[in-house]
Structure 1
């Protein structure tokens, strides 16, 4: 742990608090009356800032730290300006979306954030080539950067539709799901798997399996996008490719779980107990995510799931909170990238509890929506879950501020 890491992770945790705060406002506005606020505008701000200000910012910091451990701490200065640029764009989106929704300023900041990411991807890709020892983690990172750039096609398409007031539902959903898919199934997933694989490289006898896992996930990533588009008729060939891709993901994850289980004693020595618990929770969430995704291969189930907003929200929160956010925090705790204190751990426990409560309530709300039955006070209970999440982020932030000063 050094000053660079401590500073930028503190900013990430502040951003996580702001994401949770906007989420709380959204839930409050659903349950009660909140004048002088536009629900849709706040939702756009919440989602864009969560992707850019919290997850992408945190992954960038962790990837830069990974790079510094391989080629030296001089990389901190090289990437510092890019981190500031991403932060400025993130806060620009946070504010402009609340004020105007999709407008000239919000679209401009969104576009600039993509430009910043592309610049980061180019620099990081080139620096990865300087690492002498070639490992699976390098492949994961390069794929993550590539998929992150590919996701921008969806963002540009969506901005174009909004700016020109084109309301075609199919094009709108295709753009949204394209961006979301290549963000959380591409950039987020592959960056996280790269960080995890780097910590498993000591398992020399498992390296062939680690490579197999990577190639299976890479093969599946592009076809699996069409799971979000099953209301559009596809040829039987595309549908068969989609089935193979879904099976490939399940096989790859089964291999990874087998590696983790078979080598759990050796792995436990590398991970802190608290961090290991968080990573197990993230793995459970990812397993649920894969099973739900695989189930949607049936067109009727896909139309059913994508036809109910609570199910979509629950799925997105499962991926972004249950899988990705818990993984990021678990990774930081596992390898003691920050000094762990009781206040920080308390905040993490509260935050994770809020995620679990939120997901259970969203699941109940989804079942409620499909059966067309009303559950009393479900919106108030979801507001309570949002308050737990918000409280956890506040405690995490102040717990992290207790980090001792250290020189680089």
Structure 2
């Protein structure tokens, strides 16, 4: 595994976590920062500096037969775009410089898709299909970004068009590119073969990813048809989960017998978060809850973090440990459980507070302070993992 690339990804993740902690601190003790600008920076660095670049690294490592220099060069150009967004978003929000770096990142992603598609070397049919689908969704998601300029110019930032364009990007980044990306690598690691059940899983998860986009559209353009489309998407998502469990279950016992306990636990944790994500999405078939969901910020943030930290980051850490890129150490023994604890506590508090707001109960006592304190576990845990990685003498398969 390319050690320098993984190191950069972990540093990006730490910076994103520190930005997130700063956002929590503002609610406890207001400081002179632009909250919205920092939110943009936090989300872009987490998504594009951590999840995107880690998938970039893993895809080029597992699915390309030859270690080509172009992948290293493109990685560093993409990282320059991330650094540009990291600096410019907190200072100016969406403006000329930050938009320029965002655009650079998009063009880098297009070139990455072209390279991977051309160099793809995968014998497993299921893995090949899921990898290609994830890349298609990544490109598709960027269409939402290209719509933002016309949306602002024609209708303004408060328009339904603008908000739907943002949700289009987020939906197909998270549920398309990121989620299918980690599923592809998990299927590769578990050696899941093509079968009728695998074919059914692939078909239903693709349809579900497309159809469940009806929910965020419904928040801004309420229509009964969108409710039913989302309901069908949720149903197909549950069906896809059924087939996913069916295809991994026979392989998982063999995997458990031949893998370290830490790897097994990370897989179990990530799969548990994946199941929880689908279970929570199922609640959107309740009409009143579905229509009011967007108004409850805690539910939205909690769900995004469940996907980003629980499912995606959980799997990414599992892959890094499984490949021996991250190796057991005292720092890992403390850092990884702290990460999981911080995630579970912040999610619990966010969803409890969301339920309180929804039921009209009000604010939890010392809610913002408690959330800030438990959120400290996340950057601390990532820092410990980063220190452990930096101090390692061996990094699995070492490449530049």
Task: Give the shorter-chain TM-score range.
Answer: over 0.9
Is 1:6–1:338's contact at 8 Å kept on the other side of the alignment? Answer: no
Distance apart, 1:211 and its partner CA: 2.5
- Counterpart in the other structure of 1:114: 106
SS of alignment partner, residue 401 of structure 1: helix
Summarize the Cα distance change of 1:160–1:97 in structure 2 as closer, same or farther, 3 Å threshold.
farther
> Partners of 1:244 and 1:199 in 2: how far apart?
31
Tell me the TM-score normalised to structure 2 length.
Answer: 0.93
- Counterpart in the other structure of 1:402: 391
> Partners of 1:165 and 1:81 in 2: how far apart?
39
Is 1:358–1:382's contact at 8 Å kept on the other side of the alignment? Answer: yes
**Within 5 A, what are the aligned runs for 1:247-262?**
247-262=235-250
> Partners of 2:304 and 2:141 in 1: how far apart?
16
- Counterpart in the other structure of 2:166: 176
**Within 5 A, what are the aligned runs for 1:158-197?**
158-161=148-151, 166-197=156-187
> Partners of 2:362 and 2:172 in 1: how far apart?
35
- Counterpart in the other structure of 1:96: 88
> Partners of 2:25 and 2:295 in 1: how far apart?
24
* Partner residue of 2:274 out of 286, 311, 331: 286
Q: Does residue 32 in structure 1 map to residue 29 in structure 2?
A: yes
SS of alignment partner, residue 375 of structure 1: coil
Deviations 1:83-117 (A, max 9, x none): 11111111111110011011000111111111111
- Counterpart in the other structure of 1:140: 130
* Partner residue of 1:46 out of 9, 17, 42: 42
Distance apart, 1:240 and its partner CA: 4.3
Is 1:209–1:255's contact at 8 Å kept on the other side of the alignment? Answer: yes
**Within 5 A, what are the aligned runs for 1:5-404?**
5-35=2-32, 37-68=33-64, 71-72=65-66, 74-75=67-68, 77-128=69-120, 130-131=121-122, 133-161=123-151, 166-201=156-191, 204=193, 207-231=195-219, 232-234=221-223, 236=225, 239-370=227-358, 371-404=360-393
Distance apart, 1:197 and its partner CA: 1.1
> Partners of 1:218 and 1:228 in 2: how far apart?
17
Distance apart, 1:305 and its partner CA: 1.6
Is 2:157–2:163's contact at 8 Å kept on the other side of the alignment? Answer: no
Distance apart, 1:135 and its partner CA: 2.0
Summarize the Cα distance change of 1:160–1:271 in structure 2 as closer, same or farther, 3 Å threshold.
farther
SS of alignment partner, residue 285 of structure 2: coil
Cα RMSD (Å): 2.0
> Partners of 1:222 and 1:126 in 2: how far apart?
26
Is 2:38–2:90's contact at 8 Å kept on the other side of the alignment? Answer: yes
Summarize the Cα distance change of 1:134–1:92 in structure 2 as closer, same or farther, 3 Å threshold.
same
Distance apart, 1:265 and its partner CA: 2.0
> Partners of 2:190 and 2:166 in 1: how far apart?
34
Is 2:151–2:159's contact at 8 Å kept on the other side of the alignment? Answer: no
Deviations 1:340-371 (A, max 9, x none): 32212321111111111110110121122222
Distance apart, 1:372 and its partner CA: 4.2
Deviations 1:271-318 (A, max 9, x none): 331011112111111111111112213332112221111111111111
Is 1:276–1:334's contact at 8 Å kept on the other side of the alignment? Answer: no
Deviations 1:122-154 (A, max 9, x none): 1101111x54x2421111111111000111011
**Unmatched segments (≥5 aa) in structure 1:** none
SS of alignment partner, residue 213 of structure 2: helix
Distance apart, 1:403 and its partner CA: 1.7
SS of alignment partner, residue 198 of structure 1: helix
> Partners of 1:331 and 1:19 in 2: how far apart?
21
Aligned residues: 395
> Partners of 1:401 and 1:199 in 2: how far apart?
25
> Partners of 2:381 and 2:287 in 1: how far apart?
38
> Partners of 1:274 and 1:256 in 2: how far apart?
22
Is 1:351–1:393's contact at 8 Å kept on the other side of the alignment? Answer: yes
